[in-house]
């Protein structure tokens, strides 16, 4: 978790606890502030009042938190109501108010006690609760225990596609599109939203809830169910509402607020059903997203940009960049074979690259220090390079001999410069000694970038989403070094990594540091990861020019040379 995330979580807890107490308005203020902090740069924390939605009161809490690691007033709220509010509110249908009521009435403080109270029928006796609610809570507890984590895009996107195709097969359905954070290609997703155009919404809802799924709610416009540990919302709309509904349910929430304000500015009203002229009440758009954007006087905003990071203003000015697309990617600059920890031979990896129509492929197996991956000795590395160059004569894809060298504790690499100098492409990455303070990690990365033989800095943060945080480092310092040394930063496309992050891509674009959208493929099928990397690059406003491996062979050779 970044410091921004930690502070945002602290503010959200404030909001929940105030709401549980029945306080009005303040919770919204804390929630707005939390969201703004999450979106702000890490530098912004030094002057919190400059962050939108953060005033003097919340700013002083942020300062207290950064200084002491705790906030006195939050501690008091915790003492007052000692409940695990974060866990309890994960239960479907249980929000802060319910937590407050159940604590007052039954003394429930965590998931175990909630489950126990439900099992013994105590909840239905509390005023405002009934048998049904108690049953729903009981069913929701187990899921809440497991679902602390958001789902990787690498899992939710294929699942969403599968569900969409199943929905599309229903006779009553004309169209179905996945919306929400899946469509925005956020690195992790909460639930899966699908917008469905149907002639017969009731029949569609019935058909879907007949699947092997646990139905959460079923209405005329919205049907929710849980399938294979994933929450799915179907938004059932009429054909002429499709565009506005898709726009609305794609979000993000903050982007929607911003677009709604554009509508207000122009004397229009925007909601999920369409766009209306305020004065005449005439409906002016709604059937397609393009039409909705046009009515608002905006360029079409690609879903990946819809995070309220300036895209609304830029779209009004007609100055959105032409984002990189998967077809723009011409090659792969980070791949492995079975000579180290890959699952396929050199020949198979090359054949896979040819099949994908890549113009070039760099074979970059691990080097010696990475024992667990069978890292290559200098000799083996030279032998691989010879084989790569020999194979290059016979294939339709330009092969580069390379290595993924390890950045050691002192910032040096585990391969001598002489050997690296013989290679075409050198990726340098940290694979060990990851428990570091920020200064140490930054120094290690910067000295690797300063090494003349290094072309690309691999997965800079070392994080694995949901399982390893990665070391903290000063991204600006690394970026500065990369800019002056003409080194590219990798955007590792493995859905577990997505490292660098989308907001860092944006910084690279600004600093004119090329981004290498690499898959780090260990088998030919992993070249498919490029989709996730490209999506993340798009979320960082990157064009094809900003992506190193979208360049032609000649441009790339020029840069490497």
CA dihedral 429, 435, 436, 437 (to 10 degrees): 140
Contacts of 75 (CB under 8 A, 6+ apart): none
Q: Assign 345 to helix, strand or coil.
A: coil
Radius of gyration (Cα) for the chain, nearest Å?
Answer: 26
CB of residue 496 to DNA, shortest distance in Å: 24
Question: Which of 91/505 has CB closer to DNA?
Answer: 91
Let me know: does 258 contact 312? Beta carbons within 8 Å. yes
Let me know: does 490 contact 518? Beta carbons within 8 Å. yes
Q: For 330-350, give one letter per residue: b (16+ CB within 10 A) or e.
A: bbbbbbbbbbbebebebeebb
Q: Give whole-number Cα distances, 216 to 76, 225, 231, in Å.
A: 36, 5, 9
486: left (phi over 0), alpha (psi -120 to 50) or beta: left
Peptide bond before 503: cis, by omega within 30 degrees of 0? no
- Using the structure block, give the residue that is written with the tokens 């009981």: 138
CB of residue 237 to DNA, shortest distance in Å: 10
Question: Which of 127/467 has CB closer to DNA?
Answer: 127
Question: Which of 224/461 has CB closer to DNA?
Answer: 224
> β-strands 360-366, 331-332: how paired?
parallel
CB of residue 271 to DNA, shortest distance in Å: 6
Question: Which of 246/419 has CB closer to DNA?
Answer: 246
CB of residue 69 to DNA, shortest distance in Å: 20
Question: Which of 220/319 has CB closer to DNA?
Answer: 220
Question: Which of 40/517 has CB closer to DNA?
Answer: 40
Question: Which of 209/543 has CB closer to DNA?
Answer: 209
Determine whether 393 is exposed, middle or buried from the number of CB atoms within 10 Å of its CB (0-12, 13-18, 19+). exposed
CB of residue 405 to DNA, shortest distance in Å: 44
Beta bridge partners of 215: 225
CB of residue 119 to DNA, shortest distance in Å: 16
Please report, as ranges, the residues that interact with DNA according to CB under 7 A.
Answer: 19, 24-26, 28-30, 32-33, 52-59, 89, 91-99, 124, 127-134, 136, 180, 190-191, 193, 217-223, 231, 233, 249, 253, 271
CB of residue 296 to DNA, shortest distance in Å: 17
Question: Which of 135/416 has CB closer to DNA?
Answer: 135
CB of residue 176 to DNA, shortest distance in Å: 16
Question: Which of 303/460 has CB closer to DNA?
Answer: 303
CB of residue 18 to DNA, shortest distance in Å: 8
Let me know: does 368 contact 415? Beta carbons within 8 Å. yes
Question: What token pair was written down for 461?
Answer: 């943060």
Let me know: does 339 contact 376? Beta carbons within 8 Å. yes
């Amino acid at each position: 978790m970044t410091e921004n995330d930690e502070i945002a979580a602290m503010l959200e807890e404030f909001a929940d606890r105030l709401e549980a107490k029945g306080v009005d308005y303040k919770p919204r203020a804390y929630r707005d502030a939390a969201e703004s902090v999450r979106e702000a740069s890490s530098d912004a924390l030094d002057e919190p009042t400059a962050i939108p939605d953060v005033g003097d009161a919340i700013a002083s809490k942020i300062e207290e938190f950064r200084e002491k690691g705790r906030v006195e007033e939050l501690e008091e709220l915790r003492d007052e109501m000692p409940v695990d509010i974060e866990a309890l509110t994960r239960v479907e249908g249980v929000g802060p108010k319910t937590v407050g009521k159940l604590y007052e009435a039954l003394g429930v403080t965590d998931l175990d006690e909630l489950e126990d109270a439900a099992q013994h029928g105590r909840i239905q006796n509390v005023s405002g609760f009934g048998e049904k609610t108690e049953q729903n809570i009981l069913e929701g507890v187990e899921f809440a225990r497991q679902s602390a984590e958001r789902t990787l895009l690498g899992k939710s996107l294929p699942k969403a596609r599968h569900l969409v195709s199943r929905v599309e097969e229903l006779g009553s359905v004309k169209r179905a599109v996945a919306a929400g954070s899946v469509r925005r290609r956020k690195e992790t997703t909460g639930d899966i939203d699908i917008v469905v155009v149907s002639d017969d919404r009731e029949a569609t809802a019935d058909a879907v809830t007949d699947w092997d799924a646990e139905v959460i709610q079923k209405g005329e416009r919205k049907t929710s169910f849980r399938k294979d540990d994933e929450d799915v919302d179907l938004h059932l709309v009429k054909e002429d509402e499709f565009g506005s509904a898709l726009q609305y349910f794609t979000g993000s929430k903050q982007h929607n607020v911003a677009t709604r304000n554009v509508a207000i500015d122009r004397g229009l009203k925007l909601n999920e059903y369409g766009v209306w002229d305020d004065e005449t009440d005439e409906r002016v758009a709604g059937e397609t997203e393009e039409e909705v954007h046009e009515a608002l006087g905006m360029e079409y905003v690609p879903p990946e940009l819809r995070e309220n990071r300036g895209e609304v203003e830029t779209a009004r000015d007609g100055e959105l960049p032409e984002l990189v697309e998967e077809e723009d990617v011409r090659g792969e600059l980070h791949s492995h074979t079975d000579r180290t920890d890959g699952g396929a031979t050199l020949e198979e990896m090359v054949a896979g690259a040819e099949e994908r129509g890549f113009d070039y492929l760099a074979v970059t197996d691990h080097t010696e220090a990475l024992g667990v991956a069978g890292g290559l000795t200098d000799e083996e590395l030279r032998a691989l390079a010879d084989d790569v160059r020999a194979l290059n004569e016979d294939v339709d894809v330009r092969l580069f001999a390379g290595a993924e060298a390890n950045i050691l504790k002192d910032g040096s690499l585990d391969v001598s410069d002489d050997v690296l100098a013989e290679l075409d492409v050198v990726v340098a990455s940290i694979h060990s000694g990851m428990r570091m303070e920020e200064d140490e990690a930054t120094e290690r990365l910067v000295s690797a970038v300063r090494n003349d033989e290094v072309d690309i800095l691999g997965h800079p943060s070392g994080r694995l989403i949901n399982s390893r945080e990665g070391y903290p480092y000063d991204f600006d310092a690394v970026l500065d070094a990369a800019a002056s040394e003409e080194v590219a930063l990798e955007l590792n496309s493995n859905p577990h990594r997505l490292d660098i992050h989308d907001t860092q891509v944006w910084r690279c674009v600004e600093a004119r540091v090329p981004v290498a959208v690499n898959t780090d493929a260990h088998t030919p099928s992993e070249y498919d990861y490029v989709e996730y990397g490209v999506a993340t690059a798009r979320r960082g406003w990157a064009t094809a020019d900003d992506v190193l491996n979208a360049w032609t062979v000649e441009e790339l050779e020029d840069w490497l040379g």
